[in-house]
Structure 1
Amino acid sequence: MAKYDDLDVKRIFGVGIASVVVTAVTALAVQVVYYHMVESTAKLKSEQSSYETQNSILATQMESISGYGVDAETGNVVIPIEEAMELAVQESQSANSADESKKENESQPDAA
């Protein structure tokens, strides 16, 4: 009988295993390249980004809390935030001293 009709099973398995290994290595390499490119793109985007919208909003807010004026809708007088904080501290201190003097006057018996 002729041997040329037999299949070379070892060679078929070898080529199959080699194909699986090459496919797996290629998939891993593509994944590594993909994540590297995503990371470098994100880094580049964050380096080149500007916060124009946020900065303009902050500037508008700082302008509104640091100036004098009158609110057209409510008619309230607007003063800078620093001055408002100082006034609040002064009012608090004067209220505390008034409460303390009132307590002292109540605790002293009348000399009548």
Structure 2
Amino acid sequence: MAKYDDLDTKQIFTIGIASVLVTVVTILAVQYVYHLLVQGHQVQLQADSSYQRQNNILVEQSDSVSQYGVDPANGNVTIPIEKAMELVVKENQSDSKEENDVPAEQDET
């Protein structure tokens, strides 16, 4: 009998499945290593970062709300925020005392 020149489909199928598995495992390994490197890089960046610019802005803002002065543009007087909060609390306390001291008016109907 003559031997046919057929392709060995079983071997082709096995090699194809093995190639797909090797490719998937390689992709997952590369992705895992990538994420490890990114995470390590982010940790290093956070450790090396300095917030000098942001801290300077916060200091300037803190200074602007904690000193007395006059706004040259419109002539408004500025006071420190702590003092303003104390004045508001005192004003509210005095308003509430006045409301409590005044007897409630009764209807005479």
Q: What interval of TM-score do these two structures reach, taking the shorter chain for normalisation?
A: 0.7 to 0.9
Runs ≥4 in structure 1, deviation > 6 angstroms?
A: none
Q: Report the equivalent of 2:53.
A: 53
SS of alignment partner, residue 57 of structure 1: helix
- Mapped to 2, the partners of 1:31 and 1:89 lie a distance apart of 59
Q: Report the equivalent of 2:16.
A: 16
Greater per-residue helix proportion: 1
- Mapped to 2, the partners of 1:36 and 1:28 lie a distance apart of 12
Q: Report the equivalent of 2:87.
A: 87
Aligned partner letter, 1:53: R
SS of alignment partner, residue 75 of structure 2: coil
**TM superposition shift of 1:83:** 1.1
Q: Report the equivalent of 1:110.
A: none
Q: Report the equivalent of 1:37.
A: 37
CA distance 1:2–1:105, shift in 2 (3 Å): closer
- What is the TM-score with the length of structure 2 in the denominator? 0.76
CA distance 1:7–1:71, shift in 2 (3 Å): same
| Higher mean C-alpha deviation, range 26-35 or range 13-22 | 13-22
Give a deviation string over 1:47-105, Cα, whole Å, max 9, x none: 2222222212211111011111111112111111111111112222222333333x249
SS of alignment partner, residue 50 of structure 1: coil
RMSD between aligned residues: 2.6
